Chains A and B, each alone.
Chain A
Amino acid sequence: MTAHAEIFPRAGLRRLTGIELRKMADTRAGFWLLVVIELMAAAIVTITVVAGKASEQDFHGLFKGALLGVSVLLPVLGILAVTSEWNQRTGLTTFALVPARGRVIAAKMLATVGVTVYAVATCLATAAIGNLFAGGSWDLPLYALAHGALLELLGILGGVAFGLVFLRSALAIVMWFVLPTAWSALGAIHALDKPALWLDTNRTLMPLVDGGMTGTAWAQLGTSTALWLGAFLVVGLWRLRRTELK
């Protein structure tokens, strides 16, 4: 028993973000997912150097390839960051210690920025090693780096939003891969071609990698992101406020 008159301030957002970042890497699943992300980048770069088109065999081309591969896996990390609180029932502890639930989610979202930095650095490093063998140009426009980082960040944030809506790891991961594909299939119908240009992230994210970010492309990216990321986040956060943790 210590003196009870003491005031104990709540943990700041920076501290919570550090904790959430650590929680993404300190479990067996989280650790291996981070390793697999590196292996993925390395595999894509290796294949491109050995058997890719000549136009892809430079620093920028290898970087793009690595980015695309990593962007498939990164959202899973975002999903698990949320759903493990339910699947592993750690939410019982997490939200008992931090009753302001929105702050926990905010910290998780800020932590995804850290993971994005890690992912982009991995892509840069593997692309650089690959280019030592490929002997291509070292030219990498700054916008390509920024757009690449944005691609990864939107992906992992999308994972967080999906996790919040579905709350279960398996369900959220399946939905993450099935829903956009089903959406794209709908967009292939001629009548839905126009809306799909604005709402299908499989299409709107591509210019970030291919380098065609025109004004229209930004508007289309913004619209589709607002739908997938924004709407899912709003629904997920709204429900989290009242939901029961068991």
Chain B
Amino acid sequence: MDGGAPRPDADAMIAVDHLTKRYGPQLAVDDISFYCEPGTVTGFLGPNGAGKSTTLRMICGLTPPTAGSATVLGTSYRALDNPGRRIGVLLDASAQHSGRTGREVLALSARVLDVPRSRVDELLERVGLARSAARKRVGAYSLGMRQRLGIAHALLGDPEVLILDEPANGLDPEGIYWMRGLLRDFADGGGTVLLSSHLLHEIEAIADELVMIADGRIVARGAKHELLAASGVIVRGLDAAELHVALAEADLSATPGADGALLVDADAEAVGRVAARAGLVLLELRPAENGGLEHLFLSLTREEALAA
């Protein structure tokens, strides 16, 4: 399901080039390459521990890569004089001083970025943390409130690029809907968004491009609609194991999902004929559509769980 080799692109706002991070014997990020273009939302998807946060920290110059490189706006992040004015970053909503008020957190960064103080109130208002919530200490915030503060913080410098790590974590459904609109507007205005998630459905509705990773490696990458279109069929047989064997003998590649169904990279007719020839009873045979992506994602998550 790989959307092909990444295209080196002069327009790329974020360019990740063979990025690798090794911790002792463990490869946390293994030779990752992808590009984000203006006007798009890129969903960076993978199970917990797949290497998403490490990759994002490497892009932002906080973690030195073992090999490879990442550039933002055509240069390395650390070479930017005042990066917050061009790139809005939210790497961990919980990484704020618990003894500081929400308003103070933004006011401090407003000084670093050299944006007017009025911008602080404007953003507190925009993310729904105005008045009493702004005067509370971050230690008393719920995770959802911290995410809102983090998103306000990322937007403070009126950036061109947003890099957000798990921004939907802890947001209620209404909050997720709100964030979706905010990011869509940002991208429609010419901005570039890279956001990570471990939940497919959070990203599916917002992203134009998808980069899916597992165990530090890219397993699928490309435009969302292409990935969805190329996703084959889902088939469920009375005897899943025998069906798998029959498909393999017919040279059709099948990936088992979490629920006993198989994702087959072929059309429905080919799969139906294999089953008929082998005399197997089918319970379900349908185009995978977005279910295909979910299927792949679930199988990755399951492998992760089995390996643990």
Interface of A with B (CB < 8 Å)?
Answer: 1-2, 4, 7-11, 15-16, 18-19, 22-23, 26-30, 84, 88-93, 95-100, 242, 244-246
Output the nearest chain A residue to B157 by Cβ-Cβ distance: A8
- Indicate which residue in B61, B81, B95, B99 contacts A89 across the interface (CB closer than 8 Å): B95
**Which residues of the other chain, B, contact A10 by a CB distance below 8 angstroms?**
81-82
Q: Is B114 an interface residue (CB 8 A)?
A: yes
Residues of chain A within 8 A (CB-CB) of B43 are none
Picked from A4, A7, A84, the residue with its CB within 8 Å of the CB of B97 is A84
Bound: A27/B97 CA distance, A: 8
Contact A245 B62 (CB under 8 A): yes
What residue of chain B has the Cβ atom nearest to residue A10's Cβ? B81
Nearest B residue to A26, CB-CB? B104
Give complex CA distance A90, B146 in Å.
13
Distance in angstroms between the alpha carbons of A184 and B91 in the assembled complex: 44
User: How far, in whole Å, are A219 and B102 apart by their CA atoms in the complex?
Assistant: 48
- Closest A residue to B165 by beta carbon equals A92
In the assembled complex, B64 has its CB within 8 A of some CB on chain A: yes
Least Cβ distance of A157 to chain B in Å? 22
Decide if the interface of chain B is mainly helix, strand, loop or mixed.
Answer: loop
**Distance, CA A93 to CA B100, complexed state (A):** 14
B contacts, CB < 8 Å to A: 57, 60-64, 77-86, 89, 91-92, 94-100, 104, 108-109, 111-114, 137, 153, 157-158, 160, 189-191
Evaluate contact between B158 and A2: CB separation under 8 angstroms: yes
Q: Are B97 and A97 in contact (CB under 8 A)?
A: no
Q: Are A98 and B104 in contact (CB under 8 A)?
A: no
What total count of A-B pairs have CB within 8 Å? 103
Cβ contacts under 8 Å, B111 to chain A:
11, 15, 18-19, 22
Q: Which residue of A lies closest to B191 (CB)?
A: A1
Q: Which residues of B contact A27 (CB under 8 A)?
A: 97, 99-100
Residue of A nearest to B61 (CB): A99
Q: How far is the CA of A11 from the CA of B81 in the complex (A)?
A: 8
Q: Which of A9, A93, A242 has the most B CB atoms < 10 Å from its CB?
A: A93
Specify the chain A residue showing the minimal Cβ separation from B92: A92
List B contacts of A245 (CB < 8 A). 57, 62-63
Contact B91 A96 (CB under 8 A): yes
Q: Is the Cβ of A99 less than 8 Å from the Cβ of B77?
A: yes
Whether A11 and B82, one on each chain, are in contact in the complex, defined by CB atoms closer than 8 angstroms, is yes
Known contacts A1-B190, A11-B113, A89-B94; can you find 7 more A-B pairs with CB under 8 A?
A10-B82, A16-B112, A88-B99, A93-B153, A97-B82, A98-B112, A244-B57
CB pair B109–A97 under 8 Å, yes or no, is yes
> What is the CB-to-nearest-CB distance from B14 to chain A, in angstroms, rounded to a whole number?
15
Chain B, residue nearest A95 (CB) = B62
Q: Would A92 and B91 be within 8 Å (CB), given that A27-B99, A28-B99, A97-B112 are in contact?
A: yes
Q: Which residues of B contact A98 (CB under 8 A)?
A: 112
Roughly how many angstroms separate A228 CA and B94 CA in the complex, as a whole number?
34
CA–CA, A15 to B109, complex, Å?
A: 11
